[in-house]
Homo-oligomer: A and B are copies of this chain.
Amino acid sequence: MREELQRLGELPAITDDIIATYEAQSIINHIGSAALPSRDDTIRILDVLFEILYPGYFGEQELTKSNVTYVIGHKVSNLYDLLTRQIYRAVRHECRRSGATCEHCMLHSEYVAVALLRAIPGMRQLLAEGIEAAYDGDPAAKSYGETIFSYPGIMATTVYRIAHELFIREVPLLPRIMTEYAHSVTGIDIHPGAGIGHRFFIDHGTGVVIGETTQIGDDCKLYQGVTLGAFSFDKDERGKLVKGHKRHPTLEDRVTVYSGATVLGGKTVIGHDSVIGGNVWLTESVPPGTRVIIEHPELIYREGE
């Protein structure tokens, strides 16, 4: 008992030691400035968007023709509030104007929030095509509903399409929080900056990496463990990495990349209608209609142990 009291008596001093480290300049402290975006609320935005994008599948499931206008109208209004608040926090964080609030950031946030809402009908068209591609492309798929409810490739691609809308409007922080949330749920790591065409399908998906400056055409298909990555990084005269230029490959229309394959480099273009085989390591362009496979390493068979 006495020792327990003694331990409790140490807590204020421990707190003081921790707070002392908050007072030093550090890149991991954010105290006394405008609040950063909330990761939880950013994920909540995705939840509400899934409910609007796939009506009857997520969230409120008992939608009828008589209640749909009210239910969705309410969700749209709620989404607008969530979006403006989180976009504001993100843009305010990078804005150099002083003052408690920034009117310019506020107007910009409202503008971007409305732009995202307006993009929903077009996004739904893209997503429906994606569901169809998943069902058609996977012999194990039993129904469209199964792919919507449970396919990680559908989840990751849906989140990517939402995050990309914010990325192209230069909203900081939120796009990457969104796609990394999808990465954590699905094992599929799509950078919000990538460009991805119609009827895209990723099967299984764990370990897929699609880098920031990747361009993917229509009707492409990836399997688990595929990397579309950077070949090497350029450094500036101070030895710091150069950011921003095209570092990741381009896939033209109707390209399939099988499991474990790696395609690297900003100048690498996989011509349309090509197939890249499992475990291929590719750092150069291939012309349209090419099938690239590897001589898999020869197997050595031994009896017993």
Contact = CB atoms under 8 A, between A and B. Distances in A.
Interface of A: 3-4, 7-8, 10-12, 14-15, 17-22, 26-33, 35-39, 52-58, 61-65, 68-69, 72-73, 76-77, 80, 93-94, 106-107, 110-111, 113-114, 117-118, 120-121, 124-125, 127-128, 131-132, 136-146, 148-152, 172-173, 176-177, 179-181, 183-187, 189, 191, 193, 204, 206-207, 209, 211-212, 224-225, 227, 229-230, 233, 240-244, 247, 259-260, 262, 275, 278-282, 286, 289-305
A135 to B, nearest CB: 8
B299 A297 contact: no
B230 A206 contact: no
- Interface of A (DSSP majority class): mixed
Contact of A4 (B63, B110, B185, B230): B110
Contact of A124 (B11, B28, B278): B28
Nearest to A113: B7
Given A76-B18, A294-B300, A140 B281 contact: no
Given A30-B56, A140-B191, A300-B292, A279 B281 contact: yes
Nearest to A240: B136
A224 B206 CA distance: 11
Given A7-B80, A11-B76, A28-B55, 20 more contacts: A3-B110, A15-B76, A17-B120, A22-B72, A28-B57, A28-B148, A29-B56, A30-B61, A32-B63, A35-B62, A36-B145, A139-B242, A139-B247, A150-B176, A152-B183, A183-B187, A207-B207, A224-B227, A262-B278, A292-B300
B31 A140 contact: no
B278 A281 contact: yes
B76 A14 contact: yes
A27 B63 contact: no
B28 A131 contact: yes
A241 B136 contact: yes
Contact of A299 (B110, B142, B225, B280): B280
Given A62-B35, A152-B183, A152-B184, A281 B293 contact: no
Given A281-B297, A286-B301, A204 B225 contact: no
A142 to B, nearest CB: 6
Contacts of A77: 11
A31 B56 contact: yes
Nearest to A124: B21
B299 A282 contact: yes
A275 to B, nearest CB: 7
Contact of A140 (B39, B212, B300): B212
A290 to B, nearest CB: 5
Per CB-CB distance, the 5 closest pairs between chain A and chain B, nearest first, are: A30-B56, A150-B180, A294-B297, A281-B296, A291-B302
A96 to B, nearest CB: 14
A18 B125 CA distance: 11
